[in-house]
C-alpha cells in the first residue's frame, strides 16, 4: 500500500497515541514468567506486540484479551514454559526476537525464532555473542535469523561491557541473567532506556541499576502485578515534529511516557527552537508520564549533541524531517546504529529527502541536513514504518504532494496512524 501526503493547514486538537511498544513487549514477557495473573492496560494493539503474545502462547502461556488494549497474562512461572513443535514467528519485531533470545537461552528445551523477510536481514550477533559467553548455544545463519536456541544449557552470569549502547541487547542479557548462576552485570557506553530494569523491580526481582549500568542475580521469583502502559513517545514524535513545522499548529498529546532514556528528541527539538511544554506530570507503574503540548515555532539547525543519540535512536527519521524544514544545517554524529534498523535509516532518509529537494551529506555514522524548502515527489519507505510516517509528516510542508511507497508495515508500531493523523489536520490518503 502506498500513501499520498499533501500540504496541510494548521494542526489542531488532542491526539491520543497508542501504548508504548517497548513497554508492551516487556510487560508480556515478564508477566509470562511471573507467578500469578498480571493485568496489562494500555497494551499496544500492533503487529509486533501481537507477534510476541502469539509466541508466548505457543510456549504455553494463557493470555486473555478482555478488551481492546488490555491483556490478562496468566504467568507460567520462571520454569513453566513449554516447548513448541513449530518455529516461533516474531514477524517484523526486532525487539521481540532479541529479548526472546535471552529469555529462551535459559530454558530446558530447544526453540527456533524466525521472522519476516525484513527481520531475517537484521544482525543478531550483538545479542548472540554475549549470550554465548553466558553459556548459551545459539545457531544463526551467518549472524542472521533464524535463531536456533539449544535448551538445557547451564548459564552463568558475566560482566559485559556493551560495545554499542543498546537497550535491546542489555535487556536480552538481563533476561538470560534470571536463569544464570551468579551475577549478571551490563555496562553501557551511554545510558539507554531502562524499561527492563524498572519493570523487573515492579515484578519483584531484586535488581540494582543506575544510568549506564544494571546488575542482578539469578534464583529469585517474579510476582504478577498490574502494568499501565504509557502512550508511546516514539509515536508521539511524529506529531511533535508535525506541529512544530506547520504554521499555526497546536496539539496536545495526553499521558505520554517520559522516561528520560527515551525523550532525547524532546531535548533535540527544544535545542532547535521548538515550543513544547509538559503538563500533568505523574508516575504510573514506575514510569514518568505527562501531557505534551506543542505549538508551531520556527526551527533552526543545530549540531546534535552525541549524548542525546541513545535516547532518541527510534526518533531519528522524524528528526530528519524537522531538520529539513529548519533554517540552517543540522549535523548528526554517532548514530551508526541507524544502519541496522528495519532499514538503513541514515541512507533511506537521506535518499528520500534528496528526492524532495533537500541537500543531505551522508557520513558513516550520521549526516548533515541542509534545511530548505521541500518539493513534492516520490520516496521509498523500504517497508520501514518509521520512514513511512516521517515522510507523511514531510508532506505537510512540501510544495506538492509526497508519494510514499510501500507503507504496509506501519501497523507494526502504530495501528490507526492515518485516521489519527487526518483527525488533527493531516492530508494523508492511499495513493492511486
Q: Tens digit of pLDDT for each residue in 355-368?
A: 999 999 999 999 99
State the Cα–Cα distance between residues 381 and 399, nearest whole angstrom: 20
Question: Domains of the chain, with CATH numbers?
Answer: 3-19+230-430 (3.65.10.10), 21-228 (3.65.10.10)
In the predicted structure, residue 285 carries a pLDDT above the cut 80: no
Task: Report which of 33, 158, 188 is spatially closest to residue 99, judged by C-alpha positions.
Answer: 33
**Total-model pTM:** 0.83
Catalytic residue from among 228, 314, 365, 432: 314
Burial of 2 (0-12, 13-18, 19+ CB in 10 A): middle
Is a pLDDT exceeding 90 seen at residue 415?
A: no
Residue 206 vs residues 55, 78, 307: alpha-carbon distances, Å: 27, 15, 29
pLDDT of residue 171: 98
Element (H, E) at 112: strand 111-114
Cell digits of residue 147:
535463531
Q: How far apart are CA 299 and CA 288, in angstroms?
A: 27
Total residues found in the chain within this entry: 432
Query: What is the average pLDDT score of the chain?
Result: 95
Confidence of residue 262 (pLDDT cuts 50, 70, 90): confident
* Strand-pair partners of 378: 403
- pLDDT (tens digit per residue) in 53-92: 999 999 999 999 999 999 999 999 999 999 999 999 999 8
Judge whether 406 counts as a catalytic residue: no
Is the peptide bond prior to 146 cis by the omega test (within 30 degrees of 0)? yes
- Please identify which residue in the block is written with the cell numbers 549526516: 367
Q: Name the percent of the chain lying above pLDDT 90.
A: 88
The span from the CA of 329 to the CA of 272, in Å, is: 11
Q: What is the mean pLDDT of residues 374-397?
A: 96
Amino acid at each position: 500500500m502506498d500513501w499520498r501526503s499533501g500540504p496541510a493547514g494548521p494542526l489542531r486538537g488532542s491526539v491520543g497515541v497508542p501504548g508504548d511498544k517497548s513497554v508492551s513487549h516487556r510487560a508480556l514477557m515478564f508477566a509470562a514468567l511471573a507467578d500469578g495473573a498480571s493485568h496489562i492496560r494500555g497494551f499496544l494493539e500492533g503487529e509486533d506486540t501481537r507477534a510476541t503474545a502469539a509466541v508466548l502462547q505457543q510456549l504455553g502461556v494463557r493470555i486473555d484479551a478482555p478488551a481492546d488494549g488490555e491483556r490478562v497474562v496468566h504467568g507460567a512461572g520462571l520454569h513453566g514454559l513449554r516447548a513448541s513443535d513449530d518455529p516461533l514467528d516474531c514477524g517484523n519485531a526486532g525487539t521481540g526476537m532479541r529479548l526472546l533470545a535471552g529469555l529462551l537461552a535459559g530454558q530446558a528445551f530447544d526453540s527456533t525464532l524466525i521472522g519476516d523477510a525484513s527481520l531475517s536481514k537484521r544482525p543478531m550477533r550483538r545479542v548472540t555473542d554475549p549470550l554465548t559467553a553466558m553459556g548459551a548455544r545459539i545457531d544463526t545463519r551467518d549472524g542472521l535469523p533464524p535463531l536456533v536456541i539449544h535448551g538445557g544449557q547451564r548459564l552463568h552470569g558475566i560482566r559485559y561491557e556493551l560495545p554499542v549502547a543498546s537497550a535491546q541487547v542489555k535487556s536480552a542479557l538481563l533476561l538470560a541473567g534470571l536463569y544464570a548462576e551468579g551475577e549478571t552485570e551490563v555496562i553501557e557506553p551511554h545510558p539507554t532506556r531502562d524499561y527492563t530494569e524498572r519493570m523487573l523491580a515492579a515484578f519483584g526481582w531484586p535488581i540494582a541499576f543506575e544510568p549506564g549500568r544494571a546488575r542482578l542475580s539469578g534464583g529469585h521469583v517474579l510476582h504478577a502485578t498490574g502494568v499501565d502502559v504509557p502512550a508511546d513517545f516514539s509515536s508521539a514524535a511524529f506529531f511533535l515534529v508535525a506541529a512544530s513545522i506547520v504554521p499555526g499548529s497546536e496539539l496536545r498529546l495526553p499521558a505520554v511516557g517520559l522516561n528520560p532514556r527515551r525523550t532525547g528528541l524532546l531535548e533535540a527539538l527544544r535545542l532547535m527552537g521548538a515550543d513544547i511544554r509538559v503538563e500533568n506530570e505523574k508516575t504510573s507503574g514506575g514510569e514518568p508520564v505527562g501531557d505534551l503540548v506543542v505549538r508551531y515555532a520556527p526551527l533552526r539547525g543545530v549540531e546534535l549533541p552525541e549524548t542525546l543519540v541513545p535516547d532518541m535512536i527510534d526518533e531519528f527519521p522524524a528528526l530528519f524531517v524537522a531538520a529539513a524544514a529548519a533554517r540552517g544545517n543540522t549535523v548528526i554524529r554517532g548514530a551508526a546504529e541507524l544502519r541496522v534498523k528495519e532499514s538503513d535509516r541514515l541512507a533511506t532518509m537521506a535518499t528520500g529527502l534528496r528526492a524532495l529537494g533537500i541537500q543531505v551529506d551522508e557520513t558513516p555514522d550520521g549526516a548533515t541536513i541542509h534545511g530548505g524548502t521541500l518539493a513534492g515527489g516520490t520516496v521509498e519507505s523500504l517497508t520501514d514504518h518509521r520512514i513511512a510516517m516521517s515522510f507523511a509528516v514531510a508532506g505537510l510542508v512540501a510544495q506538492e504532494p509526497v508519494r510514499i511507497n510501500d507503507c504496509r508495515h506501519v501497523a507494526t508500531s502504530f495501528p490507526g496512524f492515518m485516521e489519527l493523523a487526518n483527525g488533527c489536520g493531516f492530508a494523508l490518503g492511499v495513493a492511486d
